Amino acid sequence: AQAASAPAASATPAATQTPPPPAALPASQPADATAFNMDSLMRVMGKDAKGRAVMVKMVRDLVDTGMEPADQAGQALREGRLRDAARQFHSLRGAVGVLGAKRLIQATVEAETAINDQRDELLEARYQAVRAELEQTLALARDWLAGQ
């Protein structure tokens, strides 16, 4: 369904699209707090330099790993190694869970569920959703690191 709606969105002239004004959100807040949100972790760990250093390391590790987990899951899917792909999605979810990446978490749950339910017709779309959410999460994580 997402792929079918994409051409319609791109056919809309840019002049008719009305993005929110840039000042609508505080500069410290990502455009979508469900994509990457360190607020909860900051409340728990951000009170001292040691806690903040641990948080920075967690985010840096995610950024350094990059798209590798999604690439490995995609390779496993292409090779028919569905259990391996499911493990990759599960591991990715664990790696980002504490970082407030709720949309990425949901995308990995849906991809893993499609594998477990043997819904082969959904696998490519679910995999692409994970990739898209991971790309956005990584971009927001890089922005967060730049502000630290």
Domains of the chain in start order, with CATH, are 32-146 (1.20.120)
Q: pLDDT digit string (tens) for 8-34?
A: 333 333 333 333 333 333 333 445 678
The H-assigned helical ranges of the chain are 2-11, 39-45, 49-65, 68-78, 82-96, 102-116, 120-146
Q: Helix, strand or coil for residue 116? A: helix
What is Dmax (Cα atoms) for the chain? 50
Q: Which residues of 39-59 are buried (b: 16+ CB within 10 A; e: fewer)?
A: eebeeebeeeeeeeeebeebb
Residue recorded with tokens 């959100």: 25
Return the pLDDT at 12: 37
The tokens describing 148, both together, are 């630290």
At residue 8, the 3 state secondary structure works out as: helix
Summarised one tens digit per residue, pLDDT across range 115-148 is 999 999 999 999 999 999 999 999 999 999 999 8
Least confident range from 33-42, 59-68, 96-105: namely 33-42
- For the entire predicted model, the pTM comes to 0.74
Tokens 């949901």 map to which residue?
A: 106
Instruction: Output DSSP code: residue 31.
Output: S
Contact criterion met (CB below 8 Å) for 119 and 11: no
- Residue 90's closest CA among 73, 65, 68? 73
